[in-house]
């Protein structure tokens, strides 16, 4: 008996795989330092936890309206309008779902058709390196992923000319993730304006149905000089932009599984109606108490947000300085999210003291974990030039960062 081709061909998440491997070693008593997890080490803010518990005690434990409860959808519409500056968003333009992964899954299912035999697949433009699940989620929906390569030197950002050249009549969507996992760089408002101009122009000619999917999950974890701006706030492309966000990363609420999708104008409303049908036939709705906790996070936890943001800002400096001092390690300065994505390919071709050849990021990460007990994510699955890189999360305390960097430096010094 076989599984479907769709599932049989699906790659497991490499970040989850490293996390599991590190946890298994730890359980055996190995002193592993893990920089693999993409989640804050902080606890969910008390006010959010209390709101969740209160909701449970008040019996908010039954099925919820499919697209989310009215209070949460209205709050998110107000935030998208007032804080993110996106025009044309009402509660009917918002759907609450089980985390940003599900938000992306529903979005891709609603955008792409599986091509009929003999038909060409619609294209999903993806600047790479990109978070490991973007391509699989697009491909599950029938998209052909078209990579737009970026490099450390360009801050891992696509240029307007690169975007203009990549758009064809088959292009259905562009997926933007700023601040970026794994690169931790972000587009400036001017750069977003220039991309929006290209999109608006292409929509008038080459690709009338073009949609921008903006994963803005790291919106609040921004600590450089670049101010955050939603690409959906540019009126020329607002209606063709689908914005995705969630409470997991900003409010240390990854396990509460709350994400949301919002659109704008007539298309945005139809899009959310489509997603609501899909959600109704899959997960039904998200729990009411996790929505209550998220509302509290969004309205009462600004101090917690600030505290965590400042910690990430300090850690970004500690991590960058420690890694930039290691010979043959090249990296961009993180300005948002909580990752560094160093290029370690200068060491490919060398061998460990035991004679194991380091010929890839996977081999590098494997030996670093085995010999020095430091867990990092090898970059291959982030696509593009990711195969030269490793990803380290700095969602952990500064002492751990310094110790991890020391072990990484020792590992690199041992390679010959
Ligand atoms: N998008 C990006 C860019 C992410 O980094 C992650 C989590 N690593 C997700 C989506 C998934 O978020 P969630 O846990 O809310 O599903």
Cβ contacts of residue 209 below 8 Å, gap of 6+? 172
Residue 279 maps to a domain: yes
**What is the number of other CB atoms lying within 10 angstroms of the CB of residue 222?**
20
Q: How far apart are CA 390 and CA 346, in angstroms?
A: 12
Residue nearest to atom 8 of ligand 1 (CA): 38
CA atoms within 13 A on the CB side of 187: 23
Residue 57 maps to a domain: no
Indicate the residue among 300, 319, 335 that finishes a domain: 300
- Does the beta carbon of 245 sit less than 6 angstroms from any atom of ligand 1? no
> Using a CB cutoff of 8 Å and minimum separation of 24, what contacts does 154-162 make?
155/183, 155/185, 155/332, 156/127, 156/129, 156/180, 156/183, 156/185, 156/332, 156/341, 157/127, 157/185, 157/187, 157/191, 158/127, 158/195, 160/194, 160/195, 160/197, 160/198
Laid out side by side, the sheet with 390-393 consists of 339-340, 390-393, 377-378
Indicate the residue among 256, 272, 300 that finishes a domain: 300
Q: How far apart are CA 297 and CA 305, in angstroms?
A: 9
Residue 55 maps to a domain: no
Residues 93 and 240 in one domain: yes
Of ligand 1's listed atoms, the one at least distance from the Cα of 254 is 14
- Does the beta carbon of 386 sit less than 6 angstroms from any atom of ligand 1? no
CATH code for the domain in which residue 331 is found = 3.90.1150.10
Domain count, the chain: 2
Residues 215 and 86 in one domain: yes
Phi/psi-derived region of residue 164, left when phi > 0, alpha when psi is between -120 and 50, beta in every other case: alpha
CATH code for the domain in which residue 135 is found = 3.40.640.10
Residues 29 and 71 in one domain: no
Residue 388 maps to a domain: yes
Q: Are strands 339-340 and 390-393 parallel, antiparallel or unpaired?
A: antiparallel
Cβ contacts of residue 58 below 8 Å, gap of 6+? none
Residue 97 maps to a domain: yes
The best mutation among 128, 248, 383 to test binding of ligand 1, ranked by most ligand atoms within 8 Å of the C-beta, falls on 248
Q: Are strands 123-128 and 144-149 parallel, antiparallel or unpaired?
A: parallel
- Does the beta carbon of 101 sit less than 6 angstroms from any atom of ligand 1? yes
Q: Pick the closest to residue 262 from 239, 293, 291 (CA basis).
A: 239
Give me ligand 1 centre to Cα 99, in Å.
7
- Does the beta carbon of 127 sit less than 6 angstroms from any atom of ligand 1? no
Residue 408's domain comprises: 5-43+303-414
Residue 54 maps to a domain: no
* Contact between 312 and 223 (Cβ < 8 Å): yes
Residues 165 and 242 in one domain: yes
- Which neighbouring-strand residues pair with 94? 262
Give me ligand 1 centre to Cα 327, in Å.
32
Per-residue pLDDT tens over the stretch 182-215: 999 999 999 999 999 999 999 999 999 999 999 9
Please compute Rg for the chain using Cα positions: 21
Residues 28 and 99 in one domain: no
Give me ligand 1 centre to Cα 97, in Å.
13
Residues 112 and 197 in one domain: yes
Quick one: DSSP state of residue 168? -
Indicate the residue among 266, 300, 334 that finishes a domain: 300
Q: Pick the closest to residue 142 from 182, 172, 183 (CA basis).
A: 172
- Which neighbouring-strand residues pair with 126? 147
Residues 82 and 143 in one domain: yes
Q: How far apart are CA 239 and CA 224, in angstroms?
A: 29
Residues 238 and 284 in one domain: yes
Residues 336 and 381 in one domain: yes
The pLDDT of residue 11 is 84
Residue 280 maps to a domain: yes
Residues 117 and 24 in one domain: no
Can you point out the beta strands (E) in 263-415? Answer: 339-340, 374-375, 377-378, 390-393
Of ligand 1's listed atoms, the one at least distance from the Cα of 258 is 15
Is the Cα torsion angle 260, 261, 263, 267 positive or negative in sign? negative
Using alpha carbons only, give the angle 77, 175, 11 rounded to the nearest 5 degrees: 115
Residues 295 and 309 in one domain: no
Of ligand 1's listed atoms, the one at least distance from the Cα of 248 is 15
Residue 142 maps to a domain: yes
Q: What is the mean pLDDT of each run of 10 residues along the chain (416 residues)?
A: 92 80 90 92 97 98 98 98 98 98 98 95 98 96 98 94 98 98 96 98 97 98 93 98 97 98 98 98 98 98 96 97 97 96 98 97 95 96 97 95 98 98
The pLDDT of residue 13 is 78
Cβ contacts of residue 18 below 8 Å, gap of 6+? 36, 365, 369, 375, 376, 377, 378
Residues 18 and 99 in one domain: no
């Amino acid at each position: 008996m076989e599984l479907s081709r769709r599932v049989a061909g699906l790659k497991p998440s490499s970040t989850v795989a490293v996390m599991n491997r590190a946890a298994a070693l730890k359980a055996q008593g190995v002193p592993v330092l893990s920089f693999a997890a993409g989640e804050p080490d902080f606890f969910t803010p008390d006010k959010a936890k209390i709101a969740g518990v209160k909701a449970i005690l008040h019996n908010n434990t039954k099925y919820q309206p499919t697209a989310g409860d009215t209070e949460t959808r209205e709050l998110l519409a107000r935030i998208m309008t007032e804080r993110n500056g996106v025009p044309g968003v009402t509660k009917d333009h918002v759907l609450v779902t089980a985390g940003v992964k599900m938000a992306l899954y529903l979005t891709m299912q609603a955008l792409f058709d599986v091509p009929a035999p003999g038909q060409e697949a619609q294209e999903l433009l993806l600047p790479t390196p990109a978070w490991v699940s973007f391509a699989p989620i697009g491909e599950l929906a029938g998209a052909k992923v078209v990579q737009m390569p970026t490099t450390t030197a360009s801050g891992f950002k696509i240029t307007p000319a690169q975007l203009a050249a990549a758009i064809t009549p088959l292009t259905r969507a562009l997926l933007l993730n700023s601040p970026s996992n794994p690169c931790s760089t972000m587009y400036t408002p001017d750069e977003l304006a220039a991309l929006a101009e290209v999109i608006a122009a292409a929509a008038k000619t080459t690709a009338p149905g073009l949609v921008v999917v903006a994963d803005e999950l790291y919106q609040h974890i921004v600590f450089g000089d670049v101010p955050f701006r939603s690409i959906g706030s540019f009126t020329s492309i607002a209606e063709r932009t689908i914005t995705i966000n969630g409470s997991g990363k900003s409010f240390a609420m990854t396990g509460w599984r709350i994400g949301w999708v919002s659109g704008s104008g007539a298309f945005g409303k139809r899009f959310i109606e489509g997603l609501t049908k899909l959600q109704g036939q899959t997960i039904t709705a998200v729990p009411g108490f996790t929505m209550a906790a998220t509302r509290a996070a969004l309205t009462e936890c600004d101090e917690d947000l600030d505290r965590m943001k400042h910690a990430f800002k300090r850690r970004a400096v500690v991590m960058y300085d420690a890694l930039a001092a290691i010979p043959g390690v090249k990296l961009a300065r993180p300005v948002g999210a909580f990752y560094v994505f160093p290029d370690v390919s200068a060491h490919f071709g060398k061998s460990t003291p035991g004679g194991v050849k380091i010929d890839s990021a996977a081999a590098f990460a494997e030996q670093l974990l085995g010999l020095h007990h430091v867990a990092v994510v090898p970059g291959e699955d982030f696509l593009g030039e990711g195969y030269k890189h490793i990803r380290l999360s700095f969602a952990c305390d500064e002492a751990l960062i310094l110790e991890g960097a020391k072990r990484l430096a020792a590992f690199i010094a041992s390679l010959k």
